[in-house]
Chain A
Amino acid sequence: MSYLRKILHVLFTAAILIAASQPVIAAQSGTPKDTITVASGADPKSLDPYGTTDSPAGRIASQIFETLVERDDAGNIVPSLAESWEVKDPTTYVFHIRKGVKFHNGEELTANDVKFSFDKMSASPHASSVTGTIDFANSKAIDKYTFEMKMSEPFGPILNHLCHGVTAIVNEKGYTESGSAVNEKPIGTGPYKFVSWKTADSVTLTKFDDYWGEKAKVRNLVFRTIPEAASRVIEVETGGVDVALQVPPSAVSRLEKDKDIKIGIQETFRTDFLAFTCNKAPMNNVKLRQAINMGIDINAIQKVVFRGIGMAAIAPIGPSIRGYNKDLPHHEYNPEKAKKLLSEAGYPNGLKLTLTSDENQERLDVAEMVQAQLAEIGINLEVITLERGKFIDDVIAGNLQMFALGWTTNTGDPDYALYASFHTSMFGEGGNMSFYSNPKVDELLTKGRVLTDDKTRMEAYYDAQKIIWAEVPCVFYLHPQEITAYSASLKDFNIFPDGRSDFERMYF
Chain B
Amino acid sequence: MARYILHRLLMMVPVLLGVMVIVFTIMYMTPGDPARMILGEGAKPEAVAQVRDELGLNDSYVIQLFRYVKNIVTRFDFGLSYNTRKPVISELLNRFPTTLKLAVLSVSISVLLGVSMGIISATRQYSIFDKLATSVALIGVSMPTFWAGLMYVIIFSVFLGWLPASGSYGWQYWILPSFTLGTHSAATIMRMTRSSMLEVIRQDYIRTARAKGQKEWVVILVHAMRNAMIPVVTVAGLQFGVLLGGSILIESVFAIPGIGKYIIDSIKSRDNPVVQGGVLLLALSFSLVNLAVDILYGFIDPRIKSRFRSN
Residues of A at the B interface (CB closer than 8 Å) are 1, 3-5, 7-8, 11, 19-20, 22-26, 43, 45-46, 48, 51-53, 125-126, 128-129, 183-184, 198-201, 224-228, 230-231, 234-235, 237-238, 240, 387-390, 392-393, 395-396, 405, 407-408, 410, 420, 429-431, 433
Question: Could you tell me the distance between the alpha carbons of A19 and B216 in the complex, rounded to whole angstroms?
Answer: 34
Question: Could you tell me the distance between the alpha carbons of A338 and B102 in the complex, rounded to whole angstroms?
Answer: 57
Question: Could you tell me the distance between the alpha carbons of A25 and B159 in the complex, rounded to whole angstroms?
Answer: 12
Residues A45 and B166 in contact in the complex (CB < 8 Å), given A392-B32, A430-B44, A431-B41: no
**Chain B neighbourhood of A390, CB < 8 A:** 31-32
User: Closest Cβ of chain B: how far from A434's Cβ, in Å?
Assistant: 13
Of residues 1 to 58 in B, which have CB atoms within 8 Å of A's CB atoms? 30-33, 36-37, 39-48, 50-51, 54
**Chain A neighbourhood of B163, CB < 8 A:** 19, 22, 24
Q: Which residue in A226, A240, A389, A408 is a CB contact (below 8 Å) of B32?
A: A389
By beta carbon, the residue of chain B nearest A181 is B86
Describe A's contact surface by its main secondary structure.
mixed
Q: Does B136 contact A (CB under 8 A)?
A: no
Q: Which residue in B31, B39, B47, B157 is a CB contact (below 8 Å) of A234?
A: B157
**Chain A neighbourhood of B251, CB < 8 A:** 227
Residues A430 and B45 in contact in the complex (CB < 8 Å), given A46-B84, A238-B161, A389-B31: yes
Question: Could you tell me the distance between the alpha carbons of A162 and B46 in the complex, rounded to whole angstroms?
Answer: 21
Say which size band chain B's interface belongs to.
35 or more
Q: Contact string, B95-123, partner A, CB cutoff 8 A, digits 1/0?
A: 10000000000000000100010011001
A234 near B165 with CB under 8 A, answer yes
Q: Which one, B190-198, B255-263, B295-303, is touching chain A?
A: B255-263
List 7 additional contacts besides A25-B164, A129-B42; criterion CB under 8 Å. A4-B119, A24-B162, A125-B54, A129-B44, A238-B164, A388-B32, A407-B42
Give 5 closest A-B pairs by Cβ, nearest first.
A389-B32, A200-B257, A125-B47, A390-B31, A226-B255
Q: Which residue in B116, B119, B157, B168 is a CB contact (below 8 Å) of A25?
A: B157
User: Closest Cβ of chain B: how far from A25's Cβ, in Å?
Assistant: 5
**Chain A neighbourhood of B168, CB < 8 A:** 201
Interface pairs (11), CB distance under 8 Å: A4-B217, A11-B112, A25-B161, A45-B83, A125-B39, A199-B94, A200-B257, A200-B261, A238-B158, A240-B166, A430-B44
Q: Which one, B66-74, B148-156, B206-214, B231-239, is touching chain A?
A: B148-156
Q: Count A-B contacts at CB 8 Å.
A: 160
**Chain B neighbourhood of A392, CB < 8 A:** 32-33, 36-37, 41
Residues A224 and B165 in contact in the complex (CB < 8 Å), given A125-B43, A129-B47, A238-B158: no
Q: Does B226 contact A (CB under 8 A)?
A: no
Residues A8 and B268 in contact in the complex (CB < 8 Å), given A125-B50, A392-B32: no
Q: Does B253 contact A (CB under 8 A)?
A: yes
Question: Could you tell me the distance between the alpha carbons of A52 and B86 in the complex, rounded to whole angstroms?
Answer: 13
A231 near B253 with CB under 8 A, answer yes
**Chain A neighbourhood of B46, CB < 8 A:** 128
Question: Could you tell me the distance between the alpha carbons of A475 and B39 in the complex, rounded to whole angstroms?
Answer: 25
**Chain B neighbourhood of A19, CB < 8 A:** 156, 162-163, 175
B32 near A420 with CB under 8 A, answer no
